[in-house]
Chain A
Amino acid sequence: MSETTAGRTGPGDGEKRRWRWRPELGLALIVLALGVFVVIGTLDVSAAASQLGIGPRFFPMLVGGSMIVVGLFYVADVLRGGRGDPEESEDVDVDAPADWRSVGLVSGIFLAFTAVLNLLGWIIAASLLFFGLSLVLGAEHKLRAAGVGVVLGIATYLLFVKGLGVSLPGGLLQGVI
């Protein structure tokens, strides 16, 4: 059932590359490891089976076991040179090399946002989030990016808090707006 996605690898290519580390191998190993984790992670769930037929461990074992099998096939497939096609999307250049700096910066900004959200409040944190991300993604006018960020931060706050009754942290601006 392991199906190699044919096409991009040339005939001699696969032979040479067979044992080289490929990033997709990491994902395949995660699938395998997750299966093992599910099986081990539910060991402490006592099987209160008796009259109920099967207990709370049966289904996780089924899922974990299947994950291990799928993980093994996946690892084998990647080792045999199979590869998934990167998803195509409107704004993605599939052939471009991965830009790790941007991914790292986007991740960092997002995590920083989660760290300061309650302290600074939604309006400031969200404006900063927007400003930072748009610069990383290549916005040319810094001032405009900042302006759009502030407008979005305030507009979403007003819409959700005053309009829809959702609670968002006020932070530093608590009481001001």
Chain B
Amino acid sequence: MNSFQLLLDGFAGALTPINLMYALIGVTLGTLVGVLPGIGPAMTVALLLPITFTVPPTSAFIMFAGIYYGGMYGGSTTSILLNTPGESSSMITALEGNKMARRGRAAQALATAAIGSFVAGTIATALLVVAAPAVVSFAIAFGPEDYFALAILAFTAVSSVLSRSVVRGLASLGFGLVIGLIGIDQQTGQARLTLGMDQLLDGVDVVVVAVGLFALGEALYVASRLRHSLPEVVPVGRAWMGRTDWRRSWLPWLRGTALGFPFGALPGGGAEIPTFLSYAAEKRLARGVAKEEFGKGAIEGVAGPEAANNASAAGTLVPLLTLGLPTSATAAILLAAFQQYGLQPGPQLFDHNPALVWGMIASLFIGNTMLLVLNLPLAPLWARVLRIPRPYLYAGIVLFAALGVYALNGSVVDLVALFLLGLLGYAMRRFGLPVAPAVIGLILGPMAEIQLRRALAIGAGDVTVLVRSPIAVILLVLSLLALLAPLFRKLMERRHVEPALPTSRED
């Protein structure tokens, strides 16, 4: 069966009333939580993960698809209406978006962001449909050494790209890898790093780590230096835009999509680089009115980066679904969700669970459409969410974090672990360590170990087996380049005294 036929089957599965309801719940919750300040897409997915535990897998992933895209939509609303820096993927949107809002064009900024996200999300999901089977047929020949090299590339790329300082990125990665080691070794059944505690034999649950680092860490960090004046929320009515805005938006949407999708699919690519590149491109291409408006609220500067942001979200799903390789924190948590159901993304997933995979992809299209319908009229409601008093907001975040973690095993030990990880998350924020490498290290570390041991078992202990395949060699060379890239960047910066472009911030 070709992928188009499979996708149609996916639609048939996703369009049942009950699954449509799950998709609607997913997009609504995703947007609602994503709009909340201080909560990025990764934390949205982590906080909502426990809710899906009681749902059958296909429906759960349909809901997840909605949460994933919904969180992205929510983030852009926040950055347009609030004049404070937020998660970096929507920070670029805030540059022009917030200025537009202040000039009384909030409705147009929200509209171009929502419609642009829809256009980019739909095109990029279609690209996912085309790209996924191609990558699967290529990856089917991958040996364990190739998967190990792929994991190394993901580790180094995410550590060096997301932080201005490679050591800090690697330190964060190390925290994740060490936590991932805790528990019983899957191959020999021996306990590692459990400190003699029975509760640690099964390892530390991903939800505990993610919710601790993101939610509790954020709450502690906010407590330590709360902005005491409430940030100003720009009032807004129904989101809409006129003919001129459409004319100025459609090309930036398409360019943003073209930048976002490939970067999302690359390890370490993420959403930060393409949104920034899209902004820079639109600024350079601006003519006439747009040129004058750039820096004061040009619609192109919202349309392009917002499209790039959503296209990269779809791009991230290509390596995640086809190789089991998470390239962002959000993707790592989605991967953990698959593992909760005993599923391992990769070429086999497409063979063994086509209904689930294609149902999820179909629901990405459905969720995207729902989000467009939901977001244009509901903009005023989301703006009201932004006015939630901060003490209630963060107390509520902690309450839900505790609820989600306790619901996992009904264990108070998990709550204590949650608190300790919250402290770690606080320290990481305080000292500028990106959180994403820790989450990726935690999830991908155990898989990297399995592949490494498998490869070395095949090679009977001969280490050169790791570089015997050309694919593995290429991936390892790329990893080395990723580690050295900041060094080159520094040399370049030293040559030009003033760096020409501001570097985008991490996580």
In the bound complex, CA of A87 to CA of B231 (Å)? 17
Minimal beta-carbon separation of B388 from chain A (angstroms): 10
* Cβ-defined partner of B395 (8 Å) among A103, A118, A134: A134
Sorting the interface of chain A by its residue count into under 10, 10 to 19, 20 to 34 or 35 or more gives: 35 or more
**Cα(A102)–Cα(B190), bound, Å:** 42
Looking at the assembled complex, report how far the CB atom of B168 sits from the nearest CB atom of chain A, in whole angstroms. Answer: 5
The answer to whether B167 touches A91 (Cβ under 8 A) is no
Q: Which residues of A contact B (CB under 8 A)?
A: 1-5, 23-24, 27-28, 31, 34-35, 37-38, 41-42, 45-46, 48, 51-56, 58-60, 63-64, 66-67, 70-71, 73-74, 77, 82-94, 96-100, 102-103, 105-107, 110-111, 113-114, 117-118, 122, 126, 129-131, 133-139, 145, 148-149, 152, 156, 160, 164-169
Of B82, B223, B427, the contact of A137 (CB 8 Å cutoff): B223
Contacts of B410 in A (CB 8 A): 167-169
Q: Mark B83-97, 1 if CB is under 8 A from A, else 0.
A: 011100000000000
Cβ-closest chain A residue relative to B427: A27
Known: A42-B193, A89-B86, A90-B82. A1 touches B222 (CB 8 A): no
Number of B interface residues at 8 Å Cβ cutoff, please give it.
94
Answer whether A56 and B432 are a contact pair too, CB < 8 Å, given A94-B225, A134-B391, A152-B396: no
B54–A166 touching, CB < 8 Å: yes
CB pair A87 B225 closer than 8 Å: no
Contacts of A91 in B (CB 8 A): 37-38, 84, 222, 226-227, 231, 390, 393-394
Q: Interface of B with A (CB < 8 Å)?
A: 37-38, 50-51, 53-54, 78, 82, 84-86, 163-168, 170-171, 174-175, 177-178, 181, 185, 187-188, 190-193, 195, 216, 218-228, 231, 389-396, 398-400, 402-403, 406-407, 410, 412, 415-416, 419, 422-423, 426-427, 429-433, 445, 448-449, 452-454, 456-461, 483-484, 486-487, 490, 505-507
Instruction: Given the known inter-chain contacts A48-B190, A90-B38, A114-B419, please indicate yes or no for A5 contacting B452, CB distance below 8 A.
Output: no
Which 5 A-B residue pairs are closest in the complex by CB-CB distance? A84-B432, A53-B457, A90-B37, A133-B395, A137-B391
CB pair A34–B178 under 8 Å, yes or no, is: yes
Give Cα A63–Cα B407 distance, bound, in whole angstroms: 31
Q: Tell which of A31, A70, A100, A126 touches B224, judged by Cβ atoms closer than 8 Å.
A: A100
Q: Is the CB of B427 within 8 A of A130?
A: no
Complex alpha-carbon distance, A149 and B141, angstroms: 55
Offer 16 A-B interface pairs, CB within 8 angstroms, sorted by A.
A1-B484, A3-B487, A3-B490, A45-B192, A48-B188, A87-B221, A89-B85, A102-B224, A107-B423, A117-B415, A126-B399, A126-B403, A137-B391, A138-B226, A164-B54, A168-B403
Of the candidates A37, A92, A98, A135, the one having the most CB atoms from chain B within 10 angstroms of its own CB is A92
